[in-house]
């Protein structure tokens, strides 16, 4: 029996899409949403792939798809997605990918990725972690700042956690929760949602459904 492992499939995007992402990001996002819904999701469904991660890595020039399969199946999935993109000339999808670059498949280790994100984020906010420890944001309070203008500045409270436990939780989110949410959203929502209020409401309902009651603090903490 061939053992499966996680692979990252990289689909390089064209200069046309990169330029569009700079000049008209909503148009670019709508195109990628349609491609994910009509092509990526179709191929994943055809192969019975339940757990996956798909992310826009525009800054480094590609869309990545992570799947837990045997190497030959990863290659087949990449070929089928690429062939479908090429065949959609009437939609112009082929213009948005750079087929001159060789598609790349690399191994991906979810636990290593989770650990790296936890540690690097701590470094970016200036936290020194003891060996074997992760970190969490345990809350916040507002400090009154009167100069150069009056305003409230959040002061975050940080605490240590067990690193292995944090890695396990983060990994489960990436490989189990994220892909299943993405699948249902793409399947049920036919058009790109360009409504900040509605997306804000989605986030509110998602957090409320899992009893995250400190929503305001979650929203205020910056992405690092």
Q: What is the pTM of this model?
A: 0.91
Q: How far apart are CA 110 and CA 189, in angstroms?
A: 28
Q: How far apart are CA 16 and CA 21, in angstroms?
A: 9
Residues of the domain holding 58? 5-108
Residue 1 pLDDT > 70: no
- Note whether 102 and 115 are same-domain residues: no
- Note whether 99 and 119 are same-domain residues: no
| pLDDT tens per residue across span 196-208 | 999 999 999 999 9
CATH number of the domain enclosing 76: 3.30.70
Looking at the domain assignment, is residue 214 inside a domain?
Answer: no
Looking at the domain assignment, is residue 46 inside a domain?
Answer: yes
- Note whether 91 and 71 are same-domain residues: yes
| pLDDT tens per residue across span 159-214 | 999 999 999 999 999 999 999 999 999 999 999 999 999 999 999 999 999 999 99
Q: Are 158 and 179 contacting, i.e. CB atoms less than 8 angstroms apart?
A: no
CB atoms within 10 A of CB 45: 12
Looking at the domain assignment, is residue 58 inside a domain?
Answer: yes
CB atoms within 10 A of CB 108: 19
Query: Using alpha carbons only, how large is the chain's radius of gyration in Å?
Result: 20
- Note whether 88 and 135 are same-domain residues: no
Mean pLDDT of 73-95: 95
Q: How far apart are CA 25 and CA 9, in angstroms?
A: 23
- Note whether 181 and 165 are same-domain residues: yes
3-class state of residue 222 by DSSP: coil
Q: Which residue has the tokens 């790296």?
A: 116
- Note whether 15 and 103 are same-domain residues: yes
Q: How far apart are CA 45 and CA 124, in angstroms?
A: 38
Domain count along the chain: 2
- Note whether 34 and 53 are same-domain residues: yes
Looking at the domain assignment, is residue 198 inside a domain?
Answer: no
């Amino acid at each position: 029996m061939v053992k499966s492992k996680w692979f990252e499939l990289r689909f390089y995007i064209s200069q046309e899409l990169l330029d569009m992402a700079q000049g008209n990001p909503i148009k670019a996002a709508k195109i990628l949403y349609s491609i994910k819904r009509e092509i990526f999701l179709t191929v994943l469904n055809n192969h019975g792939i339940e757990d996956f991660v798909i992310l826009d890595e525009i800054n480094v020039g590609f869309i990545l798809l992570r799947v837990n399969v045997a190497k030959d199946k990863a290659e087949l999935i990449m070929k089928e997605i690429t062939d479908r993109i090429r065949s959609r000339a009437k939609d112009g999808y082929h213009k948005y990918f750079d087929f001159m670059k060789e598609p790349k498949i690399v191994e991906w280790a979810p636990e290593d990725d989770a650990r790296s994100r936890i540690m690097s984020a701590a470094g970016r906010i200036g936290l020194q972690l003891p060996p074997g420890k992760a970190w969490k944001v345990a809350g916040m309070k507002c400090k009154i700042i009167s100069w150069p203008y009056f305003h409230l500045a959040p002061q975050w409270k940080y605490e240590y956690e067990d690193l292995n436990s944090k890695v396990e939780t983060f990994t489960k989110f990436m490989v189990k929760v994220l892909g299943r949410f993405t699948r249902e959203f793409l399947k049920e929502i036919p058009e790109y949602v360009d409504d900040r209020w509605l997306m804000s409401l989605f986030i509110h309902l998602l957090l409320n459904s899992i009893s995250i009651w400190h929503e305001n603090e979650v929203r205020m903490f910056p992405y690092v």
